[in-house]
Amino acid sequence: MASIWEKPAQYLKGVGPQRARLLARLGIHSVGDLLYHLPRRYEDRTLCRPVKAYGEGETATAEGEVVAVQETRARSGMSVLRVALRDRWGIFYAVWFNQPYVKKVAKVGARLTVTGKVKYGFGVPEIQVAEFEAGEGDEGLSTGRIVPVYPLTEKLSQRMLRTVVFNTLKAEAASCPEILPPDLLASHGLLERGRALCAVHFPESMAEAEEARRRLVFEELFLLQVALLRHRQRVLAVEKEHRCGADGPKVRALREHLPFTLTPAQERAWREIARDMESRYPMQRLLQGDVGSGKTVVAALALAKAAENGLQGALMAPTEILAEQHYLNLRELYAAVGIEAVLLTGSTKKEERLKRLAAVANGEAAVVVGTHALIQEEVSFQRLGLVVIDEQHRFGVRQRGLLQAKGKTPDVLVMTATPIPRTLALTLYGDLDLTVIDALPPGRQPVKTVWLRPAELGRVYRFVRAEVEKGRQAYFVCPLIEESEQLAAQAASKLARELEEIFPAFRIGLLHGRLKLEERDKVMAAFRRNDVQLLVATTVVEVGVDVPNATVMVILDADRFGLAQLHQLRGRVGRGAHASYCILIAERTTPEAAARMSALTTLADGFALAEEDLRLRGPGEFFGTRQSGLPELKVANILRDHALLELARTEAARYLERDPDLVSPAGRMIKAELEARFANIKNLVS
């Protein structure tokens, strides 16, 4: 029998091709999608009180017999239909505006059920009708009960959707097989699946709705954790071809060559990583640390360790600028210890690329730094032993897998500078071990953040001038123009010209994505040397750029950026011992943008900000769902359901101990459900 995820919604009773297209806009393609399209909220429309027991403005539902109908026209021309109804408590009115066709059903003697806000005219309560039902209607689905309210799309009404869901439940819910093991249901008091599906749409009580939802959330998170944990077990089941030995001369020389000693947090991270690299099984680790916490150095050590064990390492970064910066840093660090690094990005010229590809293929290049150019088919390694992925959330789980597949059983280290709340980390990276660098290098001062209006730019310029005169440097980041890097580049050039006039004595650099590689290198190098004092840039400087002498970050039209992005940009300053400043320039715009600005001015810690961002925008937006490789969760809300997520993870691990290959009858059910439901992360679930 086809599962609910395979049966198309189009052939359901009351759907058809046109409505199927509307449903598709809501992401509903199959019967399963429909049944798991949960109500956004509920309205309690049970009939148990007289209308006059409701206060002005409250929403009431009442049923009565029509005793009189009156149609009038307001001065504005609007038609007003006022219908007097009698129920067992007395008379009340129902009012419709501009819906004269209601007359056809609201005839004297007919029975109507109406829902809407209560108003008091001359002491007699009146319901301004939002929804009503006469006679047959939608079988009493929209009134007289706790009514589901769904996320909708244009041209699809609540009533329509309720009817379709109701009919589908009638036909399918009973035959919807249970997919969770019975002992799990029993030990956590979870509803059985068919019942949960019915109750989540048409609950008898709010408590029942909550119970039903809890079951479905648990189910979804449990399945996902089973997938992630199995992926992890599969990777760990195969022993590495080449494991690393204890730290040798290159790693030791590199450590001595560093201009600072590692912080205790970095030491801890490094010990965990080194231990993984020396173990028989491949490392699967997430290295998480706030901006500027010093992750890159730790990655550099790991790559050096691979190199001294005769293995190649690859470092993949999300942008060219970041890849270049990593490359330049590593080249400098490795020059002293004799490790060869090459750079591979989209803009590497053909001839040069071929040369570098050959060096990668024959093993001459010990460390390869690049963008997603690294996962192109033409790139092959001689002995890839370590994969480091920076800023993973820009890549999907799929891309991680592609790079991983270029080696036999490489160690994998994922670095993320965006602090991910633990709950989200579990969902996104449930297959990885977690290492957190939880302290900044010594001597850092929090970046002072202020929000100013464009009219106050004069003050900003005076401040920047004073800082530069003290020997410091500043960034000016141009407004975000998502659609076109060309427009962003133009805006940056224009701003650079304006600043040249305002600050004739300072040198001004310009950095954007449309500059040639050599040009960008020149500008960055000049900025690093303080030959350039003001760097005007697009968001290309968002991640990774590291110039500790820069102390001021001015972000124009800051309201256009997301919170995580603003925090990243701010992270470009405050990387040295000098006091640093982040100045957000924005008009008062939407309340939501204002909330972001205020969060940034009050919160310094990236983790707190990430939680706030998640709260303000929801997890999808936080990363941009499509880019993130985040499996789309239909039911669970990572923020609200974090306790269930932890429980689901524990139970998933416990279940897999019993049935690691999902071969028992219960396991086969789980496997089939996983494959049908999480097709977008196929490489994880199959």
The whole-angstrom separation of Cα 129 and Cα 191 is 36
Please count the other Cβ atoms lying within 10 Å of the Cβ belonging to residue 454: 11
The whole-angstrom separation of Cα 649 and Cα 642 is 11
In DSSP terms, which residues pair with 82 in a beta bridge? 70, 95
The whole-angstrom separation of Cα 12 and Cα 32 is 12
SS3 at position 259? coil
AA letter at 305? K
- DSSP letter assigned to residue 103: G
The bridge status of strand 384-390 relative to strand 146-149 is: unpaired
Residue 523 beta carbon to ligand ATP: minimum distance, rounded to whole angstroms: 18
- Closer of 295 and 671 to ligand ATP (Cβ): 295
- Closer of 401 and 571 to ligand ATP (Cβ): 571
Decide: 135 and 111 in contact? Cβ < 8 Å: yes
- Closer of 289 and 631 to ligand ATP (Cβ): 289
SS3 at position 408? coil
Residue 259 beta carbon to ligand ATP: minimum distance, rounded to whole angstroms: 7
Residue 354 beta carbon to ligand ATP: minimum distance, rounded to whole angstroms: 31
For 32, 200, 219, 391, 646, the CA distances from 635, given in Å and listed in that order, are: 12, 11, 9, 27, 16
- Closer of 292 and 407 to ligand ATP (Cβ): 292
Any idea which residue has 């202020």 for tokens? Answer: 450
In DSSP terms, which residues pair with 134 in a beta bridge? 112
Q: For the chain, how far is it from start to end, CA to CA, in angstroms? A: 20
The whole-angstrom separation of Cα 311 and Cα 331 is 17
Residue 522 beta carbon to ligand ATP: minimum distance, rounded to whole angstroms: 21
In DSSP terms, which residues pair with 23 in a beta bridge? none
Six-digit token string for 463:
């401040």
SS3 at position 575? coil
- Closer of 142 and 263 to ligand ATP (Cβ): 263
Question: Site residues (CB under 6 A) for ligand ATP?
Answer: 260, 262-263, 266, 289, 291-297, 417, 441, 543-544, 546, 548, 571, 575
Nearest Cα to Cα of residue 211 among 237, 185, 233, 242:
185
Residue 616 beta carbon to ligand ATP: minimum distance, rounded to whole angstroms: 22
Decide: 394 and 627 in contact? Cβ < 8 Å: yes
AA letter at 93? Y
- Closer of 417 and 480 to ligand ATP (Cβ): 417
Residue 319 beta carbon to ligand ATP: minimum distance, rounded to whole angstroms: 12
- Closer of 214 and 570 to ligand ATP (Cβ): 570
Six-digit token string for 24:
């598709």
- Closer of 439 and 595 to ligand ATP (Cβ): 439
Dihedral over Cα of 629, 634, 639, 642: its sign: negative
- Closer of 224 and 323 to ligand ATP (Cβ): 323
- Closer of 201 and 567 to ligand ATP (Cβ): 567
AA letter at 192? E
AA letter at 270? W
- Closer of 147 and 304 to ligand ATP (Cβ): 304
